[in-house]
Structure 1
Amino acid sequence: MSTEKNNAHGSMPEGQGVDLSKPPAVYTPDRFQGQRVLITGAAQGIGLAVAHRIAYENGSVFLVDRADLVYEVAGELEKAGDGTISSATADLEIWAGAEEMMDQAVSALGGIDVAINVVGGTIWAKPFEHYTPEEIEKEVNRSLYTTLWSVRAELPHLVDQGGGTIVNVSSVATRGTNRVPYAASKGGVNALTSALALEAAPKNVRVVATAPGGTLAPERAIKRGPGPEGEQAKQWYQEIVDQTVDSSLFKRYGTLDEQAAPIVFLASKEASYITGSVLPVAGGDQG
């Protein structure tokens, strides 16, 4: 996932959150009617915005997050549409967590038709030579293995039922400063998406991804990791903010709605002839 921006770091303004009591500003009623959708990272940020939209488009949604906040979100979304709303917590950095997630999704919804894998995000921001081996492993676990394990758990079910769709959330930060382990992880997500699309197409499974750029979001209720401490760390983070804005043709961060819209489109039947693609959503920054 992209660097979701809030005013705890750098100098960009805080973004608008998702008002679960109201419909999205733009949505397509009934687009997901009869569809069962699993969404990881659904308690906050981009994942929450995606869940909000699909619930209002009358999809049945299974929300997954590592934070208990996901249960509160699910309760709010029960009022949104005609679909079933269920939720679970899971540690997707390990295979057992992804396997348990799928078992619970099948139990709650009877199966899934679409899987949207959002979990990920930069933990630290600094030049590569300052990362410890332990920090590198944690970055890869957070932003590659969460998707790798999730897809491995989701795919057999989709194949067995005769088809479905997987949407991964990558990042344009594969070409980004001060986050090499995260960039390498998201490069892996891109490769996973394109390679698996080749294997899965004969089995009627589409595999696609978006690559968000910097995204404005409110302060996270559950933080990904420690914020920058000290002037040097703040400077390194500010370099990420500056590069993100400079790389965008619009010279700004995107909004949660601007990230959710293409994810939801790719997940829908409207995108039935698209597979293997990684769509940059970064104001013209191709990554």
Structure 2
Amino acid sequence: MRSDRFAERVMVVTGAAQGIGREVAVRAATEGARLALIDRSDHVHKVAEGIEAAGGTTTAILGDLENWDGAQRAIAHAEQHFGRIDVLVNNVGGAIWMRPFEYFDERQIEAEIRRSLFPTLWCCRAVLPSMIKSGRGVIVNVSSIATRGINRAPYSAAKGAVNALTIALAMENAERGIRVNAIAPGGTVAPQRVILRNNDDQTEDDRRWMEEVVQQTTQSSLMKRYGTLEEQANAILFLASEEASYVTGTILPVGGGDTG
């Protein structure tokens, strides 16, 4: 790993206020990236301040990426601030509820799809025109090995769509100098979330269904453990870098042997 592999490159990281997104941003900054951090939580400003205090260059952008206008405005803001976008890391997403599919209602199904597909879909669409114009660019989407998992069928469907989007965009844009890849994280240990994915009271059934997910995720991993934020960020930053210059249209599982 080179300490300067993102020197002077402009990288947009969505969902940068916490978790994998924050880890990617902090790590990329140490390798020279100029960062636009997008999140709908005010906490993204604290992440940006920490990066700047360590000598990095960044701007924090508040935006709701679940809708077209929010994504268009956020990506335009990043491009106006830095003059271009070299790398887009689409990290927004995550299962909101864990339960068998027959227990999901219409509102919950729509919320899962809106959270874990639309931010990636909208941001890819927002960034492509400028990348096509410049003749180069890299997009790394964050999918999930939960495309083969239990108790989160709507989330699994959303991430399956992210995989399909990744491959389709790679095929359309490879000859334009744009690489599009994704990682599919397995279970990942992370600090307690700054903002909860839902505020519903947890029932005994909810806790049992969540435990079933944990058990299935651990057992499906050949290593029989959850990964770390650093292990996920390593894979994302590899795909984002010129070290992966001949890699596109690839879904890279990062699940300890669970390929999803």
In which range does the TM-score fall when normalised by the shorter chain? Answer: over 0.9
Runs of 4+ in structure 1 deviating by more than 4 angstroms, as ranges, are: none
Aligned to 1:28: 2
Aligned amino acid, residue 55 of structure 1? A
Structure 1: which 5+ runs fail to align? Answer: 1-26
What is the CA–CA distance in structure 2 between the aligned matches of 1:32 and 1:206, rounded to whole Å? 16
Give the deviation of 1:79 after TM superposition: 2.9
Q: Deviations over 1:62-86 (max 9, x none)?
A: 00011010011101101334x5211
Name the SS for the 2:209 alignment partner.
helix
Q: Equivalents in 2 of 1:176, 1:227: separation in Å? A: 23
1:64 and 2:44 equivalent?
A: no
Opposite residue 127 of structure 1, the aligned amino acid is P
Alignment of 1:1-287 (within 5 A): 28-81=2-55, 83-226=56-199, 229-287=202-260
The 10-residue stretch of structure 1 (106-115 or 42-51) with the greater mean CA deviation from structure 2: 106-115
- Distance across 1 between alignment mates of 2:65 and 2:192: 23
Q: Choose between structure 1 and 2: higher helix proportion.
A: 2
Return the alpha-carbon distance in structure 1 between the equivalents of residues 3 and 184 of structure 2: 26
Q: Deviations over 1:157-202 (max 9, x none)?
A: 1111111100000000001100000000000000000011000111
After the TM superposition, which of the residue ranges 178-187 and 148-157 deviates more from structure 2? Answer: 148-157
What secondary structure does 1:78 align onto? helix
Instruction: Provide the rounded CA distance (Å) in 2 between the counterparts of 1:40 and 1:148.
Output: 12
Percent identity for Structure 1 against Structure 2 = 53
Counterparts of 1:253 and 1:101, CA distance in 2: 32
SS at match of 2:16: coil
State whether residues 51 and 57 of structure 2, in contact with CA within 8 Å, keep that contact through their aligned partners in structure 1.
Answer: no
SS in 2 for 1:207: strand
Q: TM-score, normalised by structure 1?
A: 0.89
**Please, which moves more after superposition, 159-168 or 228-237?**
228-237
Instruction: Give the Cα–Cα distance (whole angstroms) in 2 for the partners of residues 201 and 33 of structure 1.
Output: 23
SS in 2 for 1:129: helix
Q: Render the CA deviation track for 1:36-92: whole Å, top value 9, x for unaligned.
A: 0000000100000000100000110000011010011101101334x5211101100
Q: 1:228 Cα deviation (Å)?
A: 6.1
**1:123 touches 1:226 (CA, 8 Å); kept in 2?**
no
1:246-276 per-residue CA deviation (whole Å, 9 max, x = no partner) reads: 0001101000001000100100011110000
- The question of whether the paired residues in 1 share the 8 Å contact of 2:14 and 2:92 is answered with yes
RCO greater where, 1 or 2, for CA within 8 Å and sep 6 or more?
A: 1
Alpha-carbon contact 1:117-1:168 (below 8 Å) kept: yes
Q: Which runs of 5+ in 2 are unaligned?
A: none
Per-residue CA deviations over 1:136-167 (Å, capped at 9, x if unaligned) read 00000000011000100011111111111000
Change (3 A) 1:107 1:174: same
Shift of 1:105: 0.2
SS at match of 2:224: coil
